[in-house]
Amino acid sequence: MSNVAKLLCAFARKLGGDIDEVSDLPFTEESGTDGMPEQLYVRHDDEMLNQLTSWLLQRQHIGLISPYGTGKTALREIAARDLGSRDDFVVTMIENPNATTERGLYETVITGADTAGYEIDTTNYSQIRDGIPWATAETREAVGEVVRAAADDDVTILLIIDEIEDFPAELLSPMQTAADLGVRLFLTGTPDGKRRLAKFRDTLDSRVRYYERIEPFSPIDVAEYISRSFAYMRNESYEGQNPPLFTADAIRLIHDLTDGNPRGVRLECMDLFARAAFVWRRSDRPVERINITPALRRRGISMS
């Protein structure tokens, strides 16, 4: 561990954090591979979830469209968690599109359905491996089988695909096929992804209902995110407590600098947290006397 990392971890422990490594620090969740912890969701957008669920129940496909860093991933995870807890949805997801084949896309749907109790009749297929038909054409048929079985129980099978702007071109047609078989699609991406989908096939694009109203963080949202981050670091529950370290002026500055872009907010918060750690080390003040103010961002901070 570098000297800078050791300093940041020591500062966090002084603030009550249960810190073993840099990835445990506040404001670092986006660098991990497991997504944002549920405890850090600032806003649980009930209106969005109700609208998306309504569209899905109307047999619509959903497109969640917004520029990079505006919170699509967090909102997608909220929707996946909430819909996955319902009895009328089976939620599946393409985790690594660039390592997925046509057969792999269909297998994702079949495996998710099997976990929910919708098994295929293996006697309908010529060769089965690990519970999945081996031939791509037969995996396609199996998708139709599990979708029909789920529909008989009024259950919707949902396939979530992230970053549609970077989705491999060779998988766009299988994605369309899955949709034709009755799988509901939940697509997330940037406006470029929406344009790419429309260019690929108008028939699919015309059936996608787009949600493009992800609002940026307000100053109150920034303050809540900071409070939740410290509570999570301390293994505490968030109970509406005020943010430690960060003054109200610093929170307004973060909002103004980032226009409320959630990714920008995280980066600014991490930078200011690091600056506060250097001030703490050099000043030898008790940690309770360290404050993050706008002036701290303007100071030159040497990492040596």
Q: pLDDT by residue (tens digit) across 61-89?
A: 999 898 887 778 777 777 888 888 889 99
Tell me whether residue 159 is in a domain: yes
Cα–Cα distance between 152 and 81 in angstroms, integer?
23
Stretch 251-259: mean pLDDT, rounded? 96
In the chain, how many domains are there?
2
Same domain assignment for residues 202 and 69: yes
Same domain assignment for residues 195 and 55: yes
Question: Which of 178, 211, 244 is the endpoint of a domain?
Answer: 211
Which one-letter DSSP state was computed for residue 130?
Answer: T
Same domain assignment for residues 65 and 199: yes
Same domain assignment for residues 137 and 156: yes
Cα–Cα distance between 64 and 186 in angstroms, integer?
8
Structure confidence by residue, pLDDT tens digits, 100-149 = 899 999 999 999 999 999 999 999 999 998 889 999 999 999 999 999 99
Same domain assignment for residues 82 and 121: yes
Question: Which of 166, 192, 211 is the endpoint of a domain?
Answer: 211
Beta bridge partners of 62: 186, 209
Indicate the pTM of the whole model: 0.73
Tell me whether residue 304 is in a domain: no
Listed residue (64, 74, 136) closest to 100, CA to CA:
136
Q: Is the pLDDT confidence value at 32 over 80? A: no
Same domain assignment for residues 200 and 224: no
Q: Which domain holds residue 283?
A: 3-41+217-298
Question: Which of 211, 231, 254 is the endpoint of a domain?
Answer: 211
Tell me whether residue 303 is in a domain: no
Same domain assignment for residues 154 and 258: no
Stretch 26-43: mean pLDDT, rounded? 71
Tell me whether residue 231 is in a domain: yes
C-alpha distances (whole Å) from 133 to each of 56, 99, 136, 180, 275 are 28, 19, 7, 20, 56
Same domain assignment for residues 73 and 129: yes
